[in-house]
Amino acid sequence: MVFGWDSTDIKQFDNEWTPYQSPFRSAWRHVEYVDGLNCSMPAIVEFPNFMRQKSWISAVVSFFLSMYLFVFLAIVCDDYLVPAMERLCYNLRMTYDVAGATFLAGATSAPELFVNFVATFITNGDIGVGTIVGSSVFNILVIAGVCGIFTPSTKLDYWPVTRDTIWYLVAIAALTVMLLDSHIHWYEALVLLLLYLLYLIQLILDRRIQNCVRKEHTESELLDEDPMTREEEPLKTFRDHVCTKPDPGSNCCQWTWWAIKYPAELVLACTVPSVRTIFFLSMFLAVLWISLISYLLTWFLTVVGHNLSIPDSIMGLTVLAAGTSVPEVASSYIVSKKGYGSMAICNAIGSNTFDIFVCLGLPWLLKSLIYQNEIEIDSSALTITTAMLVATAVVLYVFLVANKFVLGKIVGWVSMISYVVFVVVACALEMLLDTLVVCDIEES
């Protein structure tokens, strides 16, 4: 008996009784017969045998644990991973737009990468792809909305925005073609990684390309502000993490929020060194924390979805996508408030490109090579939803052009409304086109 299942519960097409295999099985999940019915094993059986039976208590506890893990995730990204990446970009003397589209995009996309690793190797479900698609539209629309509404209007440089939008459209087109047959082959995953390599090469040669193409070439600003010496939002020390409290005149909400997040601040301060010391070590330990949090988030949200009978793809498109995109929103808001609107938008669009090329391509390629089989996508609506990402990119770019590349309140409100419309349509498609029959493990 494994995970509470008896060896006689599952049989294959040859009518021979076969013991239930390990959680890392591949094609079994889609061709199983449970009690004589053709159905797919729910993703929850891939996690520890805890909170598996449907219960409103399990759903509520898992939901609140997930919400606190989102807070944990935001702290580890904003206070450790992103500042470490800032120090790295400064040492490499990168420009703001290239730094936003590469290292900062990779740092803030770390949650999506590890969520898709968990979804690809453990749950064998659609929560990883749904998270990538959902976080992509969240990044490009909600970040533009937050920066446009809550920060002063910023004039954007058309070149980096246009450059990253074109690459994002290439990424969407490649992913849409690969999802058409609901199977991902190893060479398709390899194509995604090779496209990201071409994207990096183009970024490295970006200055030379601008010199050849632009009539009035404006030299991109270098990251010339040392994060170690800046006065605004300086890098925190161990004492800052542990001993900082709200001002004596702070209201009740500020003190409540401090009390809620302080346990996470304390745990991280005791396990991750300050970025002001060895930032490479801080970066490494922050990535380890993100991997652990991503696994727990996927587990708890799978429990919530199992109890509410919500498909994995919808959980990924909505709750998990929004939660894992918290670092992108925070970092883009900070740099936009400083007047670096191009860096904020390039961070958002670059994160999406990184999500599709690397966060999907790398786990898919590794699993295809290790298990020598193709990746199966359950949801037929995800192909349509992925193609809809084109509309989100076009809407943002068209309104930026119409507003003369000024990121202001008009662009912000249009982006927020477009995000709500996308989520509603995507969830409706998932519900209408969902034909996957999930086994009832409690009845069995």
Residue pLDDT, tens place only, 90-149: 787 776 666 666 776 677 677 778 777 877 777 665 566 777 777 788 888 888 888 888
pLDDT at 163 > cutoff 60:
yes
Burial group, residue 428, by CB count within 10 angstroms (0-12, 13-18, 19+): exposed
Distance CA 98, CA 204 (A): 8
The pLDDT value given to residue 1: 41
Higher-pLDDT residue of 11, 167: 167
Distance CA 53, CA 70 (A): 24
Distance CA 43, CA 37 (A): 18
Tokens for 422?
């996308």
Tokens for 293?
């949090």
Mean pLDDT, range 361-371, rounded to an integer: 87
pLDDT at 10 > cutoff 60:
no
The pLDDT value given to residue 19: 38
The pLDDT value given to residue 40: 61
What percentage of the chain reaches a pLDDT higher than 70? 77
- Architecture of 10-236+274-433 per CATH? Up-down Bundle (1.20)
Higher-pLDDT residue of 370, 320: 370
Closest listed residue to residue 315, CA positions, set 333, 300, 296: 300
Mean pLDDT over all residues of the chain? 76
What percentage of the chain reaches a pLDDT higher than 90? 7
Q: How confident is the model at residue 442 (pLDDT cuts 50, 70, 90)?
A: low
Q: What is the pTM of this model?
A: 0.70
Element (H, E) at 346: helix 341-354
Q: How many residues does the chain have?
A: 444
Q: Are 297 and 44 in contact (CB under 8 A)?
A: no
Residue pLDDT, tens place only, 202-216: 887 877 887 777 766
Q: Where are the domains of the chain?
A: 10-236+274-433
Q: Report CA-CA distances (Å) from 173 to 163, 195, 212, 386.
A: 16, 12, 28, 9
Mean pLDDT, range 216-222, rounded to an integer: 56
Mean pLDDT, range 288-295, rounded to an integer: 81
Residue pLDDT, tens place only, 308-356: 877 766 777 777 777 767 667 776 777 777 777 777 787 778 778 888 8
Q: How many CB atoms lie within 10 A of CB 391?
A: 15
Closest listed residue to residue 283, CA positions, set 106, 119, 136: 106
Distance CA 219, CA 215 (A): 12
Distance CA 140, CA 393 (A): 7
The pLDDT value given to residue 31: 40
Coil, helix or strand at residue 95: strand
Structure letter (DSSP) for residue 247 = -
CA torsion 9-15-21-26 (nearest 10°) is -120
Q: How many CB atoms lie within 10 A of CB 328?
A: 31
> Who contacts 393 (Cβ-Cβ below 8 Å, separation ≥6)?
140, 165, 168, 169, 172, 349
The pLDDT value given to residue 20: 37
Residue pLDDT, tens place only, 52-86: 777 888 889 988 998 898 888 888 878 888 788 77
Burial group, residue 230, by CB count within 10 angstroms (0-12, 13-18, 19+): exposed
Q: Which single residue is written with the structure tokens 């058409």?
A: 180
Mean pLDDT, range 228-252, rounded to an integer: 82
Q: Report CA-CA distances (Å) from 308 to 55, 102, 231, 295.
A: 10, 38, 48, 20
Q: What is the CA radius of gyration of the chain?
A: 23
pLDDT at 384 > cutoff 50:
yes
